[in-house]
Amino acid sequence: MAKVRIPTPLRKFTGGADEVAAGGATVGQVVADMDSRFPGIKERLCEANGRVRRFVNIYVNGDDIRFLQNLDTAIQDGDEVSIVPAIAGGAVVGG
């Protein structure tokens, strides 16, 4: 099982939990396992075509899955998966 850190906007799906355990050999399987227990969470993370949404970042042990094998990134027992919504920002003015 992996430990999955849940960001505040998605905690409504997990009953307020900031961390849940989920099983699977890949990130995609972990997401599917979470969706089976917390219906609706997958559609917040993935597009209809199955790809991770543009403004969602998923990390395994601190490594961005976009630079690994995306949803096919392997998961080992005890791995930490972090879901981080991307934050859009602007330029700092002045100073």
Q: Is there a domain that residue 41 lies in? A: yes
The three-class DSSP label of residue 89 is: coil
pLDDT attached to residue 88 = 64
Q: What is the CATH number of the domain that holds 70?
A: 3.10.20.30
Q: Is there a domain that residue 33 lies in? A: yes
pLDDT attached to residue 87 = 74
* Structural domain boundaries enclosing 54: 2-85
pLDDT attached to residue 86 = 83
Domain count, the chain: 1
Predicted TM-score of the model (pTM): 0.89
pLDDT along the chain (95 residues), means of 10: 97 97 98 97 95 96 97 98 82 54
* CB-CB contact of 20 with 49 (8 Å): no
pLDDT attached to residue 92 = 56
pLDDT attached to residue 90 = 54
